[in-house]
Structures are given as structure tokens and as C-alpha cells.
Amino acid sequence: MSDLFSLDNVSVQFKVGRKILRAVDRVSLAIAEGETLALVGESGSGKSTLGNVVAGLQVPTEGTLAFKGRKLDRASWPVARRAIQIVFQDPFGALDPRMPVSDIIAEPLRIQGTANAAERAARAAELIEQVGLPVDALNRYPHEFSGGQRQRIAIARALAPRPQLIVADEPLSALDVSIQSQVLNLMKDLQAAHSLSYLFISHDLAVVNHLVDRIAVLYLGRLVEVGPRAELFAGPAHPYTRALLASVPRIGARRSRGRAIVGEMPSPLAPPPGCVFHPRCPLAQDICRTEVPMLAPLAARAGEAACHFRDQVA
């Protein structure tokens, strides 16, 4: 599989008063064509900021981006932007309440100026069916729909410009558990039908277990582990990944691998020296307090982890 989108050494820094907040810190990562990559981590770890970078909504402070091997700059971004769409968590806030659903779905096409009114209406009708809603939904307004239905509308809109990559930022988090699996299954079906890649952002590892090929784990803006889903679930290499998995009963219960995470994430305004995870890490040694571990391949299986003790069996 070749890379569809790649980030090389990307950082995003925000000015907060007179301080610098490193929301994303030197992240290198690639999403392959047709792949679903999960981005997981606690709230505040930088997932949305990184997702916004991929969707072209946030300009990185440092680092480079590439789409299909072509470096993204002022000239190449407009083309890539059409191929990359985003679906947000909040199905209530994301849709303009004054627009009928047909206009909401067709809006990206209207903005692009690539389709006339009849073509846009035809595309909206095609998409509403693909996301499992009746055609008469097109003439109704967002407030007439449930949360799950609204998320289907948001997905239809994201599909309108025929994207190759969809950034889904916690798309299920605001939905009832019973609805979550329906939307998840819809996303799976659409992926097959449209050969899409997903960057699927979630704080819930149980959700990503059903959809994704690979998992990238963020902690305080840093990538601490990346690996194939099954291998990472079976043998997490980073103590943070292990702690995250232990806090998911459905997965962690199968084989106990230590305690769920303790303490609070430090402020990204004052990240700990050395390994940023060391204050919460049960394995921390002196080296962890002083030396930043680099993301490096694991000896025993596919995947990488940024831990001085990544090859030690838990």
C-alpha cells in the first residue's frame, strides 16, 4: 500500500498568554491508501489538533505534509483539500440549522463550483440513500433528525466531493451506544464502496477495535506507539498503551496487563522532562526522567514505540 497522506516531524504550537503550548510535538505518521488509522489518547493529547492538520484546518508550526507523495504547499493544498473531508463529533453543531438537508449535503460541491444545481441535487439524492436515509429527508431541516441521523447527514456531506480520505473526529462519541454500532457499520460499508481511507479519532479503544487496521497512540502531543491493531491489542509495547487498554474492560479483561492509568495528564504548557509519560509510568527508571525516547521499531513484532524499555515483556 502506498502512502496517501503523510506527516513528517509535524508540530503545532499555540500561544497561551506568554507561554507556548505544544499541542502536537514532532509527529511523523502516514496513512496508506484504503487504510483506517485510529488516533487514540486521552482528552487533551492533541488528537483533534492533529486531525485538523490533516484536514487542512490547522497550519502546522513546523514540519511537512504530503498528499500522494507530493509535498503540500500553497499551490498543492487546494487540490488535496477536496480529497480530504472531515466529520466532527457533534452532529448538532456541525450542520447549519437554516439549510435543508439537500443544500447541506451539496454545499461542498457548491463551494467548489464544479457541479451545477441539477448535478448537485442528483448527487445529494444519491448520497442520502447511501447513508441509509429516505429521499424525503432532503427537504427537511437538521432539527428534525436524531443524533445518529444527523451524523449520517454529515457523512453524506463529507462524501459529496468524492474524497479519498475522511478525518472522523470522535464521530460516535455523542451518540447512544446502540446507535454507535450502526454508524460504525455504515462507515465500514462506505469505505468498501468508495475505497476510502479514514483517520478515525477516538478516545474509546473498544470502538476502534471494530474498524481500524492500525492504531497510533498520542500522549501529550507525542506519538508514543504505532502498530497494527491486533498486535497492538495483544501486546502493547508502550506502558501508556498498556494502561489505556487496561482501562477498557471488554478488551483488558481477556488478559490482565496491569493497572489502568493513574494520576492526571500533566499540562502541555509544562511537559515533564525526558519521557513525558514518566510521572505516571510504573516502569520509569532514571533514564526516563532525563532522556526523550524516540519512536523506534519493535524487535518482536510489527510496530513502533517511543519507550526506553519497548522490547521488555510486560
List interacting residues with ligand ADP (CB under 6 A): 14, 16, 21, 23, 41, 43-49, 268
Which residues pair with residue 192 across a beta bridge? none
Residue number closest to Mg ion, CB atom: 48
Closer residue to ligand ADP in complex, CB, 6/48: 48
Instruction: Find all residues with CB under 8 Å of 10, minimum gap 6, and list them.
Output: 24, 26, 27, 28, 50, 53, 60, 62, 63, 64, 65
Look at residue 23 and give the partner it binds from Mg ion, ligand ADP, none, a contact being a CB closer than 5 to 8 Å depending on partner kind: ligand ADP
Query: Least separation, in Å, of the C-beta of 201 and Mg ion?
Result: 7
Look at residue 260 and give the partner it binds from Mg ion, ligand ADP, none, a contact being a CB closer than 5 to 8 Å depending on partner kind: none
Closer residue to Mg ion in complex, CB, 48/149: 48
Site string for Mg ion, 7-46 (x = CB under 5 A): ----------------------------------------
Closer residue to ligand ADP in complex, CB, 11/130: 11
Question: According to the binding rule CB under 5 A, does residue 202 interact with Mg ion?
Answer: no
Closer residue to ligand ADP in complex, CB, 201/298: 201
Query: Least separation, in Å, of the C-beta of 296 and Mg ion?
Result: 27
Question: According to the binding rule CB under 5 A, does residue 48 interact with Mg ion?
Answer: yes
Closer residue to Mg ion in complex, CB, 48/241: 48
Closer residue to ligand ADP in complex, CB, 105/170: 170
Burial of 2 (0-12, 13-18, 19+ CB in 10 A): exposed
Burial of 178 (0-12, 13-18, 19+ CB in 10 A): exposed
Look at residue 268 and give the partner it binds from ligand ADP, Mg ion, none, a contact being a CB closer than 5 to 8 Å depending on partner kind: ligand ADP
Closer residue to Mg ion in complex, CB, 6/48: 48
Look at residue 49 and give the partner it binds from Mg ion, ligand ADP, none, a contact being a CB closer than 5 to 8 Å depending on partner kind: ligand ADP
Closer residue to ligand ADP in complex, CB, 222/229: 222
Question: Considering only residues 276-305, where is the footprint of Mg ion by CB under 5 A?
Answer: none
Query: Least separation, in Å, of the C-beta of 137 and ligand ADP?
Result: 30
Q: In angstroms, rounded to a whole number, what is the distance separating the alpha carbons of residues 261 and 247?
A: 7
Site string for Mg ion, 208-227 (x = CB under 5 A): --------------------
Look at residue 108 and give the partner it binds from Mg ion, ligand ADP, none, a contact being a CB closer than 5 to 8 Å depending on partner kind: none
Look at residue 21 and give the partner it binds from Mg ion, ligand ADP, none, a contact being a CB closer than 5 to 8 Å depending on partner kind: ligand ADP
Look at residue 128 and give the partner it binds from ligand ADP, Mg ion, none, a contact being a CB closer than 5 to 8 Å depending on partner kind: none
What string of DSSP letters covers the chain? --EEEEEEEEEEEEEETTEEEEEEEEEEEEEETT-EEEEE-STTSSHHHHHHHHTTSS--SEEEEEETTEEP-TTTHHHHHHHEEEE-S-TTTSS-TTS-HHHHHHHHHHHHT-S-HHHHHHHHHHHHHHTT--GGGGGS-GGGS-HHHHHHHHHHHHHTT--SEEEEESTTTTS-HHHHHHHHHHHHHHHHHHT-EEEEEES-HHHHTTT-SEEEEEETTEEEEEEEHHHHHHS--SHHHHHHHHT-HHHHTTS--SPPP-S-PPPTTSPPSSSTTGGG-TT--HHHHHSPPPPEE-SSSS-EE--TTTTS--
Residues that bind Mg ion (CB under 5 A): 47-48
